[in-house]
Amino acid sequence: MSAPLLDVRGLAVGFAGEDGLVPAVQGASFALGAGACLGIVGESGSGKSVAALSVMGLLPPATARITGGSVLLDGRDLLALTPEARRQLRGGEIAMIFQEPMTSLNPAFTIGDQIAEAIRAHAPMSAAAARERAIALLRQVRIASPEKRYDEYPHRLSGGMRQRVMIAIALAGNPRLLIADEPTTALDVTVQAQIVALLRDIQRERGTAILLISHNLGLIAGLADEIAVMYAGRVLEHGPAARILAHPEHPYTIGLLGAVPRAAPGEAPLVGIEGSVPDPRHPPPGCVFQPRCPFAEARCAEAAPPLRALAPGHHAACHLAPLEPVA
Amino acid sequence: MRFLLFLGQRLALTVPTLLILSVLVFALQHLLPGDPALALAGEDMDPDVVAEIRHRYGFDLPIWHQYWNWLLAALQGDLGMSLRNSMSVVQLLLGKLGITLQLAVASMVLALVIGIPLGVLAAARPGSFASLAASGFALSGISVPHFWLGIMLVLAFSVNLNWFPSSGYTPFAEDPGRWAMGLVLPAFVLGTGIAGVLMRHTRSAMLQALGSDYIRTARAKGLREQRVVLKHALRNALVPVVTLGAIEFGQLLSGAVLTEQIFSIPGFGKLLVDGVLYRDYAVVQGLVLVSALLFIAASLVADILYFVINPRLRS
Amino acid sequence: MRILALLLMLCCGTAAMAQGTLRIGIGDDPDALDPTLNRAASGRQPLTAVCDKLFDVTTELKLEHQLVTAHEIAADGLSVTLKLREGVRFHDGESFDAEAVAFNLNRHLTMQGSLRRTELAALAGTEVVDAHTIRLLLKSPQAYLLLINLAERAGMMVSPKAARDAGERFALHPVCAGAFRFVERVPQGRIVVQRYDGYWNRANIHLDRVEYLPISDSTVRLAGLRSGELQIAERLSPTDLPQLRGDARVTAVATPDLGFHSIRFNMSNGPRQRIFGGDIRIRQAVELAIDRRAMVQALFEDQYTAGNQFVGPESAYYDKAHPVPARNVARARALLREAGQPNLTFTLLVPSERERQEAAQMVQAMLAEAGITMKLETQDNTSLLASSQRGQFDAVFSFWSGRPHPDGNSYSHFACAGPLNDSRYCNPELDALLTRGREATDEAERVRVYQQANALLVRNVPHVVVWHRRTFTGLSKRLAGFIPHPDSTIRLVGLRLN
């Protein structure tokens, strides 16, 4: 891959708690090329959202502490920038949409006003010009009658439409990187598909890189070029999407795939992963997954396995990888 | 349309409310011990004069009869006469309405100008010195008794520094400068109490707003923090604060008894106290009704404001 | 910087405005400004400025001429001939003459709501002799008393034309013949009067404009004086005085007040008379347990005067043979034992006014030392008036504002038919004395009669006088020519603002 657009190296983030720092991300690394889509998958508490917020610079300043690593955008370390510099990138070069479209828009202002505000924050122009551009954006995110919708308040729109508005806001600054944190989780299945299609079109037509974060492997599978699997603040496996989905190497990834409901019922039964995510303050010794790993051996508890290349671009952090294919 | 219906309902409720209120106040006043004829008869207490007064003002009639007479007259716009100084109650009230309004508006403006920014500041920088100072100010504004504060201010600023008049009210037409100066101290006394309340409500409403998802969106747009706080958060925080402010304003319209007494401002508060003490029935009756009307109007305005500010209510 | 300049300009501007204007802070907002209808004492202040009277009283409480130039009491005491001042005009230009006087006296007697009838009770009618002579006809020979009463609101003369034209609304804009004409009134705000250029004594009026400002709190009234907004602050309390000592801009003058504070016993008004109405020893015991001088010292910075009669010790009518007694707790206890009431318990009815509240508490403590339990019951003024009249009290803490003629301090309160005699104390011997006092024209006789009356009251103890106030008036140093008066009314003649 040529120099990636986004290169996260060894990111470590913790939150100030009563008894000291609670780690949320511990040495996570992943990269995303320009115009590509990276899907970060993991269950709740894996640290994926925190990692995304770190890239955006939206961690709560009162409690969050970045304890290590770097976040390189086009080679520039964002973590080393001043808050003012980071603010200027936000909404401009890097944009983000969130999980709860129902509450993510300000109920006191029209949606048009909120989109125009995002436009004018990154490109000085008159109110009339911003209105024109906002209407165009609304059209792009497939909202019908955009001129009328411009003057409506958020409470008049459905969840799916609000998420489209959020996407329009995100696109207002012509971002090179769009971070989508669980964009469809709160939406109906039919609407989900529409949003996915929209994101795909955006990636293709505008060449925007997408960092897609979800616990939903199916969603990731539909969009991502590359996949990174996070667990307990660490990246356990990453590589090209097709390869990961067909030949997962890390037991956790295998477990996730096994736990995905398939379209045809009656086939392989759902296999859940036993146990739960460890307390970040008291991680298990050695490999962080070994208490739940069906393949765990003694050495798994002695030393934490590093991320090793198993094939070009495909890395996994497991002592036992590569696994023998089961016939 | 739905709102107009709501407005109509509220206005319709006003009439029975005022009627019931008038009966209650009338009854309460007459339950007070003491013979008003004696109070009006002068120090010498001539028995003939007492009897004449009793008859002339109808004190010898049964209560319901007295009330009925009052009601009939009131419906024709005559609220009776002040027993103390023979002025028509309507005239008295109209004359003092302006003064009461001026003091109420001045106090409210001061309260808004002090309370809301302090509340915003305290919410935007929690735990900072500014936030602690604002909390301290709010607490003292609410707890410090008005009469003590008033007299202290008079001693400091009028007697020693001569910046403001110590008491009294000067009409604007007569001397705008003195009019303004005369309102500063009493407005300050009244305003700081309300500022404290407003500050606390603003702060908690702001904190709630700042924790909302749409604030995260605003920050994600890359907006300046100042804009996030003052446009996105404050706009939503104002909703409960404005309605509270309207209610407080309504209370101010009933007159500020202690403050008017200390600063000798001839507003509703002083009129009410004197009216009750001297059993000036017609004055108290008229005043309570007018105050109630003003308060109802203020809460109606609060509802309208709430409707205007909160787009979610518009169908 | 500009704001500071603006502030300076405003405050200096307000100071400059005061030069032609005298601003007086009074304690209460007056009621109707009509001499016939005016009720409370506070009304005397603005009315004195606007309405001249037939007579006035001097600081020694002697009769003085104002709108009258000469008077002659007939030998039988049943008529008085008055010679009226010539060339006097009312503020509306009408002439002041005998017809006007007749109109006014008739108005005081017959107008509905008139509160002057008691003062003119002795007046039967008037007889206009000529334009400037009028004869007053009396029902009983109380000439001197009547004339003294004509030195107050009962003697104020209003313009008959204005009174007829305005009818009931006259009180909103009184038209009289005084040194100042009425300009405007803001209820509870202020009363403004302006110099009347046609005043008969205008040579002695040096003020353009006077404003009366009711300020109920005496501390704020004093503050207004000290800040320069007021030039006179009436009725300061003794506890305010120390503030004045260090302040070079203001001063205070004091005069003995005409009234008295007393604890009145229920002698025969309803069932509650049984505590005090029967045995004089019980009343004497209460009196002996009270230390008046200590009270005055402790509560009033020793500025008031301890008293025991209905006039103060400096008054000519005071019976020197019965001075203020010293406290004697032992004797009080003995008397109670003799009367069979060693643990006397009673309730004192007190108004919510501060001075009497504090005094009552002190009395309570003093009586306790004599074994007497005194409970306090507080009522507001209006309720107290009613309770007092209906006899719903054992003892009540009263205040009487005082009148220049001793009859005003005694008859209503102690005569059997006196309207203010809530005690219902009835002593025919006293009644006879008081009636003689009313009719006495000769001063020496009058003095003798009232001294005897005082002696009688002291011996019978239907009430215990505790103190006589002194009135304190705060004055700006800019004010010259102020003469304090025992009736606390501010007279504007001769006053000058520097």
In the predicted structure, residue A1 carries a pLDDT above the cut 60: no
- In DSSP terms, which residues pair with C83 in a beta bridge? C70, C133
ipTM: 0.88
Q: Which of C235, C234, C252 is nearest to C243 (CA)?
A: C252
What is the band of C165 on the pLDDT scale with cuts at 50, 70, 90?
Answer: very high
What residue spans in chain A does CATH classification 3.40.50.300 cover?
34-58+83-93+176-316
Q: Percentage of chain B surpassing pLDDT 70?
A: 99
> Is A in contact with B (3 or more beta carbon pairs below 8 Å)?
yes
- In DSSP terms, which residues pair with A181 in a beta bridge? A213
Q: Which CATH number fits domain C55-162: 3.30.720.210, 3.20.20.70, 3.90.76.10, 3.40.50.720?
A: 3.90.76.10
What is the band of B314 on the pLDDT scale with cuts at 50, 70, 90?
Answer: low
In the predicted structure, residue C433 carries a pLDDT above the cut 80: yes
Q: What sign results for the dihedral spanned by CA atoms A115, A118, A121, A123?
A: negative
Q: Residue A63 in 3-state DSSP?
A: coil
| Residue A106 buriedness (CB in 10 A; 0-12 / 13-18 / 19+) | buried
Residue in A109, A118, A153 closest to B221 by CB: A118
Q: Residue C296 in 3-state DSSP?
A: helix
Q: Do B213 and A88 touch (CB under 8 A)?
A: no
| Contact present, A157 and A165 (Cβ < 8 Å) | yes
What is the band of A20 on the pLDDT scale with cuts at 50, 70, 90?
Answer: confident
| Contact present, C414 and C458 (Cβ < 8 Å) | no
Amino acid at A138: L
Q: Report yes or no: A104 at the B interface, CB cutoff 8 Å.
A: yes
Q: Which CATH number fits domain A34-58+83-93+176-316: 3.40.50.720, 3.40.50.300, 3.10.620.30, 3.40.50.620?
A: 3.40.50.300
Nearest chain B residue to A121, by CA: B223
Residue in C39, C220, C385 closest to B167 by CB: C220
The answer to whether the peptide bond before residue A322 is cis (omega within 30 degrees of 0) is yes
For the ranges B16-20, B113-117, B170-174, C120-124, the lowest mean pLDDT is seen at: B170-174
pLDDT tens track for B262-273: 888 888 988 888
Instruction: Name residues whose C-beta falls within 8 Å of residue B9's C-beta, 6 or more positions apart in sequence.
Output: none
Q: Do C383 and B163 touch (CB under 8 A)?
A: no
Parse chain C into domains and list their residue ranges: 2-27+179-257+471-497, 55-162, 260-468
Residue in B212, B216, B312 closest to A58 by CB: B216
> Is A in contact with C (3 or more beta carbon pairs below 8 Å)?
no
pLDDT tens track for C270-290: 999 999 999 999 999 999 999
DSSP for residue C95? B
Closest CA of chain C from B198, distance in Å: 28
Q: Which CATH number fits domain C260-468: 3.30.465.10, 1.10.287.130, 3.10.105.10, 3.30.450.40?
A: 3.10.105.10
- Annotate chain B with DSSP letters as a single string: -HHHHHHHHHHHHHHHHHHHHHHHHHHHHHHSSS-HHHHHS-TT--HHHHHHHHHHTTTTS-HHHHHHHHHHHHHTT---B-TTT--BHHHHHHHHHHHHHHHHHHHHHHHHHHHHHHHHHHHHSTTSHHHHHHHHHHHHHHHS-HHHHHHHHIIIIIIIS--S-SS----TTT-HHHHHHHHHHHHHHHHHHHHHHHHHHHHHHHHHHHTSHHHHHHHHTT--HHHIIIIIIHHHHHHHHHHHHHHHHHHHHT--HHHHHHHT--SHHHHHHHHHHTT-HHHHHHHHHHHHHHHHHHHHHHHHHHHHH-GGG--
- Chain A, window 119-178: residues with a beta carbon less than 8 angstroms from a chain B beta carbon: 121-122, 153, 155, 166, 169-170, 172-173
pLDDT tens track for C357-407: 999 999 999 999 999 999 999 998 888 999 999 999 999 999 999 999 999
What is the band of A50 on the pLDDT scale with cuts at 50, 70, 90?
Answer: very high
DSSP for residue C271? G
Q: What is the mean pLDDT of chain A?
A: 88
Amino acid at B203: R
Which backbone phi and psi does C148 adopt, to 5 degrees? -60, -40
In the predicted structure, residue C18 carries a pLDDT above the cut 50: no
User: Which residues of chain C are within 8 Å of residue B181 when distances are taken between CB atoms?
Assistant: 10-11, 14
Q: Which of B29, B75, B86 is nearest to B53 (CA)?
A: B86
How far is CA A131 from each of CA A127, A141, C112, rounded to the nearest angstrom?
6, 15, 78
Quick count: other Cβ atoms within 10 Å of Cβ C239? Answer: 16
How far is CA A319 from each of CA A225, A253, C30, rounded to the nearest angstrom?
26, 14, 101
Mean pLDDT of A204-231: 91
Nearest chain B residue to A96, by CA: B220
Identify the structural domains of chain B with CATH numbers, from first to last: 2-75 (no CATH), 89-314 (1.10.3720.10)
Q: Tokens 């309507």 map to which residue? A: B90
Q: Report yes or no: A281 at the B interface, CB cutoff 8 Å.
A: no
pLDDT of residue C19: 47
pLDDT of residue B30: 86
What is the band of C260 on the pLDDT scale with cuts at 50, 70, 90?
Answer: very high
Same topology between domain C55-162 and domain C260-468:
no
What does CATH list as the number for C2-27+179-257+471-497?
3.40.190.10
Q: Which of C407, C495, C480 is nearest to C449 (CA)?
A: C407
What is the band of A213 on the pLDDT scale with cuts at 50, 70, 90?
Answer: very high
Q: Report yes or no: A65 at the B interface, CB cutoff 8 Å.
A: no
